[in-house]
Amino acid sequence: MQSNVRPESMERITTRALADAFIAEQVAEIRAQVGDKKVLLALSGGVDSSVVAALLIKAIGKQLVCVHVNHGLMRKGESEQVIEVFKNQLDANLIYVDATDRFLDLLAGVSDPEKKRKIIGGEFIKVFDEEASKLSGISFLAQGTIYPDILESNGKKAVKSHHNVGGLPEYMTFELVEPVKLLFKDEVREVGRALGLPSAMVDRQPFPGPGLGVRCLGAITRDRLHALREADAILREEFDKCGLATKVWQYFISMPDMKSVGVKNGERYEGWPAIIRAVNSKDAMTATIEEIPYSVLHTITNRIINEVEGVNRVLYDLTPKPTGTIEWE
């Protein structure tokens, strides 16, 4: 098994040629490790798990079983994209589980952010475990561990209970396959590009494991979650159009559990505020605010208040980290 320490001699993967060489080496290693056995992977659609899936598909094809759990807290179109890329384009052995109701029922009425995270993390493991137990002959578990995960897990006190939904219980005694565990994020992206994954997946901004659960602030309701998802999709669409999507590190909408008075079509209209967050950062430890042109803010605001049911105001959060964390909870 590969060691958890990146050798000093290991060249940084910065070019397509280096990515191709890494892929060839990993494909050979994976085949040697796995033989004709089956491998299970929780495929969230994030950069790391997507790249691991594509690598394994190249190495062992249908011996890889991917499980995509939709916890109902994905952004608009995300689960559909996982299915399109992996099932339709790469012909992967993909099990899709829509567990939306299970997660939202458990989360109903829960407003404490840490409790919400624990519920989402715990339920994710349950669903994944249930799917795994329906399968037979699985010997390996693939994981999208990357080098910063290894470096960070050397025990610092976290501000929020974190991070990766899908830290699996110890009784899941599979042998691990972690082909990108010595790579930094930019290298994982380079490998993903070389594997032919779409830019929407490879260049994806960071997205928390508990998803929109940490952005639908307080107790999650289906109607506010829906409004948040639609407003977030508009923000992403407009950032794509004006070129900010490739320039800004992380951008999204948070939506508090409060209503303010507004007016629509001459009548009182109580609605939620959509709060825009657009930050730049290198490692998420600190963050600065992206200057969004007024015309872009104007367009986003108009679209959200006109197109999203239940929202009557749009706000732009100008707080850097510190003092504000990137997410609101």
Q: Which residues make Cβ contacts (< 8 Å) with residue 133, sequence separation at least 6? A: none
Min. distance of Cβ 264 from ligand XMP in angstroms? 32
Cβ at position 151, least distance to ligand XMP in Å: 15
Closer residue to ligand XMP, CB minimum distance, 22 or 124 = 124
The radius of gyration of the chain's CA atoms, rounded to the nearest angstrom, is 21
In angstroms, give the least distance from the CB of 18 to ligand XMP: 27
In the complex, minimum distance from the CB of residue 43 to ligand XMP, in angstroms, rounded to a whole number: 15
Among the listed residues 164, 328, 193, the one whose alpha carbon sits nearest the alpha carbon of residue 258: 328
Q: Which two tokens stand for residue 108?
A: 């109903």
Query: Which of 74, 34, 72 has the alpha carbon at shortest distance from 56?
Result: 34
b/e sequence 210-225, b meaning 16+ C-beta within 10 Å: bbbbbbbbbebeeebb
Least Å from the CB of residue 67 to ligand XMP: 18
Nearer residue to ligand XMP within complex by CB, 32 or 285: 285
- Least Å distance between CB 74 and ligand XMP? 13
Residue number with CB closer to ligand XMP (89 or 161): 161
Minimum distance between the CB of residue 53 and ligand XMP, rounded to whole angstroms? 18
Residue closer to ligand XMP, measured from CB, 206 or 293 = 206
Task: Give the sign of the dihedral formed by CA 322, CA 327, CA 328, CA 329.
Answer: negative
Pick between residue 73 and residue 314 the one whose CB is nearest to ligand XMP.
73
Q: Which is nearer to ligand XMP, 218 or 262 (CB)?
A: 218
Alpha-carbon gap, residue 53 to 93, rounded angstroms: 10
Quote the tokens at residue 168.
């699996």
Copy the structure tokens of residue 181. Answer: 């565990």
The residue among 300 and 326 lying less far from ligand XMP, judged by its C-beta, is 326
Q: Give the nearest distance from C-beta 62 to ligand XMP in angstroms.
A: 29
Which residue, 93 or 319, is less far from ligand XMP as judged by CB? 319
Residues near ligand XMP (CB under 6 A)? 117, 159-160, 162-164, 206, 208-210, 214, 250, 284, 321, 325-327
**Residue the block writes with tokens 């916890």:** 71
SS3 (DSSP) at 169 = coil
In this structure, which long-range contacts are made by residues 202-206, counting pairs with CB atoms below 8 Å and at least 24 apart in sequence? 202/47, 202/50, 202/51, 203/246, 204/46, 204/47, 205/248, 205/249, 205/250, 205/251, 206/249, 206/250, 206/284
CA 33-37-39 angle, 5° bins: 80
